[in-house]
Structure formats: C-alpha cells, structure tokens
Amino acid sequence: MASLAYLTSDFFDRDPRKVARALLGKLLIRRSRGVSLSGRIVETEAYLGEDDAAAHAAAGQTKRNSVLFGPPGFAYVYFIYGMHYCLNVSCMKEGEAGCVLIRALEPVSGIERMAALRGIELPKDPKLYKPSSLKSIASGPGRLAEAFGITRERDNGKNLTGEESDLRIAEDGSRVKNITAGPRVGIVKSAARPLRYFIADNPYVSGRKVKLPSP
C-alpha cells in the first residue's frame, strides 16, 4: 500500500459539498489495542448549516448537535431509530454548522474483526469470502458504525485530525473516477437536493431504495 497522508483540519474547513466529494476514496482508519481497521469511503452525504431543513443543525444549536457548530474535523455521532449510530464529520469554521455523513465503506483491512463486530461469520480462507458478506459489513451508516465499533459515548466530539486520535481519515494516493451525485437517502425535507455523493459502479455503495416525495 502507498504511504498514508492523514487529513488535517484544513481539509474540513470548507463547504460540506466539497468535503463530501473529496472524502470519496479516502480511508477511514481505527487503531486500537494494536488492531487496525480500515475502509475506503465510497458514499457520503453533505448536510449544510441552518438553511438545510434536513440537517440536524437546521433547528439551531442544541446539546446533541453542538459538535456541528464546533471546529472542523470532529466526529459527530448520533443515535437513530433506537438502534443505530451514524458517523458524521464536522465542516466549516467554528460557529458555522455543516457536516458530512459517511454512508458506506469498502472494507480494506481488519476485515475479520469488522465482520465479527457486525455479527457476520466469514470463512477462514479470505479467498472464500462471499461478495455479499463483504458488502454487508459497512454498506450503510449504521452498519459501518457497528463495524468500526463507533458509539456516541466513545467517539462523539473526537478530533479526527489529531495525531493521538484512534479514529482518523487518510489518503493513500488512489484516485476516484465516476463520482455521481443524487438525492439523499431516507429523508423527506429537502430530499430533492443532490447532496449524496457516491462512486458509480462501486459494489459497496449502500443499496437503499430512494423514496422521492410525490410531486
């Protein structure tokens, strides 16, 4: 693998739409107790500030979403539907809300560990891994959070650009082609805005049905 360059806060100090595009192809890396988990980001969604009705920041700053109003490059983890965590990264300068939701990853390393955290059984021989099993590890916001052991208690408010952080994002020099934009998934407000970005034809993009509001 090529040498890794960890992203700095400058990377996130700009419009969430630019960050969401730029994050595609980057590596999300968790290092803890000598175990390294990593996955390539293949799908993201941009959530703008208070003028984006679908964003958690739309109603202004609350105790829950205060990370969004903080400095760029911090993890905003929230609990949804009573059973899932979702990982966002704050964007823009302190005082300006904005974030990018990481929706799907292509597993790269520590696959056995991630599968175990997801409750997925893999054969001992990596050659026998089923594509469907690999896809189900992290193709969705709740799934990738579970695969990386991401929880609100553990990771909310964590600086993803700090050298001491166990959760960081890096680039390895790989280039991404065929970035496609489309409507965001699972929301009603501002659903038509094309703020979801994914790598076209990548099998690890989450496969949720998109419900568009009736005209």
Q: At closest approach, how far in Å is the CB of 80 from DNA?
A: 5
Which residue in 84, 93, 113, 154 binds DNA (CB under 7 A)? 84
Q: Alpha carbon of 66 to those of 55, 70, 105, 165: distances in Å?
A: 13, 7, 26, 20
The verdict on 206 binding DNA (CB under 7 A) reads: yes
Residue placing its CB nearer to DNA in the complex, 86 or 92: 86
Query: Would you mind telling me the total number of residues written for the chain in this entry?
Result: 215
The verdict on 136 binding DNA (CB under 7 A) reads: yes
- Is the CB of residue 142 less than 8 Å from the CB of residue 57? no
Given its phi and psi angles, is residue 129 left (phi above 0), alpha (psi -120 to 50 degrees) or beta? beta
Interaction residues for DNA, span 172-201 (CB under 7 A): 184-188
Q: At closest approach, how far in Å is the CB of 7 from DNA?
A: 19
Which residue in 2, 33, 81, 212 binds DNA (CB under 7 A)? 81
3-state SS class at 181: strand
Residue placing its CB nearer to DNA in the complex, 3 or 132: 132
- Is the CB of residue 37 less than 8 Å from the CB of residue 93? no
Residue 121 gets which letter from DSSP? -
Name the residues that contact DNA, by CB under 7 A.
45, 47, 54-57, 59, 62-65, 76, 78-84, 86, 88, 99, 101, 118, 136, 140-143, 152, 184-188, 206, 208-209
